[in-house]
Each structure stands twice: as C-alpha cells, then as structure tokens.
Amino acid sequence: MCVNGVQIPLEKPQTLLEFLKEQGYNIHRIAVERNEKIEAKESYADIQLDDGDVIEVVSFMGGGTL
C-alpha cells in the first residue's frame, strides 16, 4: 500500500481506523483520501485496507493572522 508517497507493506488485515491509530495519527485533525476518494471519518472503522490502496493523509494545522 502507498501512504503519502511511501510504500508500506500491509502486514495484517486491518481497517483504516486501526492503521491510522497504529501510525499515531490524531483522527480529529486529519483528512484521508483513499484511491482518489475522500473518506468520511465515520467510515474509517468500516474500511478494510488492501495492499493496492493509495492513501493520502492530510493534517489540519491551526494558523493565525500576520
């Protein structure tokens, strides 16, 4: 599976939610695109990952005014 441009072997069957937590992502501060489709956070636990998946994880960052 490819995550943010890096090949990562999928060593065991797992859901998107399990993978994200295992990788240390804060679920509330990210958006996930899987195979060119933005996934709803409510669906992360239902999405079974596959070796051929292409995942992009985008983190939200707070900002201020200049």
Domain 2-59 has CATH 3.10.20.30: yes
pLDDT (0 to 100) of residue 64 = 58
**pLDDT surpassing 70 at residue 17:** yes
Put simply, whether the predicted model's pTM sits higher than 0.75 gets the answer: yes
Domain boundaries, the chain: 2-59
Q: How confident is residue 25, by pLDDT bands cut at 50, 70 and 90?
A: very high
Q: How confident is residue 63, by pLDDT bands cut at 50, 70 and 90?
A: low
pLDDT tens across 28-61, in order? 999 999 999 999 999 999 999 999 999 999 987 7
**pLDDT surpassing 90 at residue 62:** no
Give DSSP secondary structure letters for 18-64. HHHHHTT--GGGEEEEETTEEEPGGGGGG-B--TT-EEEEEE-----
